[in-house]
Structure 1
Amino acid sequence: MSAPFHRIDALLCTFRRPEVRDTLLSLEALDLPAGIDLRIVVADNDDTPSAREIVFETAAQMRLPVLYLHAPAFNISVARNAGLEAASERQADWVAFLDDDERADADWLARLVARAKETGADAVFGPSLAEYGPDAPDWIRGQDYHSNRPVRRGTVVQTGHTCNALLRWNSAAWRDQRFDVARGRAGGEDTEFFFRLHHAGARFEIAEDAIVREGVAPSRMTFGWILRRKFRSGQSYAAGAHGWKSRAARCGLAFGKGLFCACTAGLFAASRAGRNRWLLRGALHAGVVAGCLNLRQPQIYGLDSRP
């Protein structure tokens, strides 16, 4: 199905992050393809409009139009949905997503658009590459735990993330779909959203060369933070299983893999890097089990300035 690429809204949610200024300036520096009318929509999820001043000051330096929305709730789904509502009101042909602590390469959007045109896909996902400071532990830097790369399972891309995505919107059958508010404080709302669109018939592709970059805060370079992220990712992945048979099969497979990872971690007890690698893989599979059993996800979004 063909669709125009004239109007694109770049949707950006923010929550107490001054880095949003650098994100906006990276979008201003994009090399836009001819005929693209790009607008930036910033949805501030804080209870007070704490990002308003920095967004307005930065927008005053930019040629691209910037729409600021205050979407309070300490719930990222509320902010994401506010952006989608704004895109629908404008009748944006496509919506692009990135995070408020990322910087887009100059050809980021052009690469996403080119891949969508080439493949006819309904959404295209690109990588978010972590940038580590000199104090990053070797065991973290070596495994690059903080980068986010889209995954193809066999020949199919089943889901993706809003850290780097372009999605067909105005002409799409899923134009009325929204992010699940029940997941908005735990995370994984984007994984579930794209799983839902995939089951509704949306076809996804990957643009490996459409890159955004994210500096990693010291508070995120701990075993505990990565462990929680892996477990939560596993819970989100469980959303792709529909029906009790599918959930039971996925749960059983994940349980077996988690047990294997735990045993293997014991074999690497003397190696911090090896032990952590297998424990974290096990946490991912444990999260899948928890998700398949519908165990409640931890409410973490909005508890600090860097969720």
Structure 2
Amino acid sequence: MTGPVLPPVTVDVLICTFRRPQVAETLRSVDAQRLPAGLGLRVVVMDNDGTGSGRVPVLTAARDMQIPVRYLRTGGGNISTARNALLDEAQSGWVAFLDDDEVASPHWLSSLWRCATATGADAVFGPVLSVYPPGTPDWIRQLDLHSSRPVRRAGVVETGIAGNVLLRCDDPRWSGERFDVGRGRTGGEDTEFFFRLHRLGARFEIADDADVHEPVSPDRLGFRWLARRRYRMGQSYAARASGRAERLRLGAGAAAKATACGGMTGLHALSRARRAAWALRAALHLGVVAGALSLPQRVSYGGDASGQDPDPGATTRPPAPARRGRGPDPG
């Protein structure tokens, strides 16, 4: 018995989910994509909760969708393990990653694809734009640090995040590369992964119009959460340094920048937004220092296979990057 006839090019949309019923809305936004002729989609959802909490919302949404959806389950609450299992399941030479709390605009995938074909890029990143709830402090809206926008450094895109990316995954130079399991509960696994692919020769581009939207939960609307996030982002950015000497240079430069940002924080003591902006920049640079020194990272995500939440005070030291991961259990 033969399967359905697929378009000439099919992109596998890969989504990890962990205890978020709103993954159903994410799936519906994928089903609503306006695609160019000859481009098709297939969705694979990996439930990262060993209890299978995502099964009902995923399969319920899939019943009303036009594009095929496959639900799989793995355990451990490690985002790298789940993403690696998704890569192992991919059947296409192109994959697109989305997070389970994001809603893609109708032109999301077509914009990523158009940029990839026009530029010959091996991966294209798009922006993740935050949707703030009523009552959000003005300074948070003004800074908009919850949103994630891909950036160029000296004209080059060196890395990005897995919340909005189209990736050519069949190039033999990096087809066997996988997300670092040691970073799968601390964060930054995607930043390090794309830094690694860039060093292997992958070329990246940005599609500013390939936007997805992510609601911000009330527990993230504070300076403390933002400071922790910026610090972790700094630790992740340190992955760009490939040797001891480079790490020391990066750490020394970041320490000087953190000191300068601390001084600017004091100079803007009367402005809530500017004071917060400089203090958060200082936190980012301090994170780079910590990453350059390979200090332990805070456990932020996931739980064990039984569904237990992580110890909020736990830390972990990332091991060497992984390659192929272990496959998932069928859902």
- Matched with 1:81 is 84
How far does residue 246 in structure 1 lie from its aligned partner after superposition?
A: 1.1
In structure 2, how many angstroms separate the alpha carbons of the residues matched to 1:176 and 1:283?
A: 34
In structure 1, how many angstroms separate the alpha carbons of the residues matched to 2:228 and 2:8?
A: 38
Three-state SS of the structure 2 residue aligned to 1:257 is helix
- Please state if 1:140 is matched with 2:161: no
- Please state if 1:130 is matched with 2:151: no
- Matched with 1:16 is 19
- Matched with 1:37 is 40
Unpaired runs of 5+ residues, structure 1, are: none
- Matched with 1:55 is 58
Change in CA separation of 1:5 and 1:135 when aligned onto 2, cut-off 3 Å: farther
- Matched with 1:156 is 156
- Please state if 1:231 is matched with 2:231: yes
Query: Which has the higher mean CA deviation after the structures are superposed, 45-54 or 182-191?
Result: 45-54
How far does residue 171 in structure 1 lie from its aligned partner after superposition?
A: 3.8
Three-state SS of the structure 1 residue aligned to 2:44 is strand
Name the % identity: 56
- Please state if 1:253 is matched with 2:273: no
- Please state if 1:27 is matched with 2:30: yes
- Please state if 1:221 is matched with 2:221: yes
How far does residue 19 in structure 1 lie from its aligned partner after superposition?
A: 1.2
In structure 2, how many angstroms separate the alpha carbons of the residues matched to 1:5 and 1:11?
A: 19
How far does residue 5 in structure 1 lie from its aligned partner after superposition?
A: 7.1
In structure 2, how many angstroms separate the alpha carbons of the residues matched to 1:25 and 1:299?
A: 31
How far does residue 263 in structure 1 lie from its aligned partner after superposition?
A: 1.2
State the AA in 1 paired with 2:57.
Answer: I
In structure 1, how many angstroms separate the alpha carbons of the residues matched to 2:113 and 2:237?
A: 27
Unpaired runs of 5+ residues, structure 2, are: 1-6, 304-308, 313-331
In structure 2, how many angstroms separate the alpha carbons of the residues matched to 1:295 and 1:128?
A: 29
Three-state SS of the structure 2 residue aligned to 1:265 is helix
Are 1:5 and 1:94, in contact at CA under 8 Å, matched by a contact in 2? no
- Please state if 1:69 is matched with 2:65: no
Q: Deviations over 1:243-291 (max 9, x none)?
A: 1121111111100000011111111222222211111000000000000
Alignment RMSD: 1.5
Query: Which has the higher mean CA deviation after the structures are superposed, 268-277 or 9-18?
Result: 268-277
Three-state SS of the structure 2 residue aligned to 1:82 is helix
In structure 2, how many angstroms separate the alpha carbons of the residues matched to 1:244 and 1:167?
A: 30
State the AA in 1 paired with 2:21.
Answer: P
Higher RCO, 1 vs 2 (CA within 8 Å, ≥6 residues apart): 2
Are 1:69 and 1:82, in contact at CA under 8 Å, matched by a contact in 2? no
Are 1:127 and 1:212, in contact at CA under 8 Å, matched by a contact in 2? yes
In structure 1, how many angstroms separate the alpha carbons of the residues matched to 2:171 and 2:149?
A: 27
- Matched with 2:96 is 96
Are 1:157 and 1:205, in contact at CA under 8 Å, matched by a contact in 2? yes
In structure 2, how many angstroms separate the alpha carbons of the residues matched to 1:235 and 1:6?
A: 37
State the AA in 2 paired with 1:78.
Answer: T
Which structure features the higher share of helix residues?
1
Three-state SS of the structure 1 residue aligned to 2:298 is coil
How far does residue 192 in structure 1 lie from its aligned partner after superposition?
A: 0.2
Q: TM-score, normalised by structure 1?
A: 0.95
- Matched with 1:271 is 271
Three-state SS of the structure 2 residue aligned to 1:97 is strand
State the AA in 1 paired with 2:293.
Answer: L
In structure 1, how many angstroms separate the alpha carbons of the residues matched to 2:280 and 2:80?
A: 27
In structure 1, how many angstroms separate the alpha carbons of the residues matched to 2:221 and 2:21?
A: 20
Are 1:125 and 1:205, in contact at CA under 8 Å, matched by a contact in 2? yes
- Please state if 1:114 is matched with 2:114: yes
In structure 1, how many angstroms separate the alpha carbons of the residues matched to 2:251 and 2:193?
A: 21
Q: TM-score, normalised by structure 2?
A: 0.88
Three-state SS of the structure 2 residue aligned to 1:96 is strand
State the AA in 2 paired with 1:27.
Answer: V
Q: Structure 1 segments of 4 or more deviating over 6 A?
A: none
Three-state SS of the structure 2 residue aligned to 1:273 is helix
Three-state SS of the structure 2 residue aligned to 1:192 is helix
Count the aligned residue pairs: 300
How far does residue 34 in structure 1 lie from its aligned partner after superposition?
A: 1.3
Query: Which has the higher mean CA deviation after the structures are superposed, 190-199 or 244-253?
Result: 244-253
- Matched with 1:177 is 177
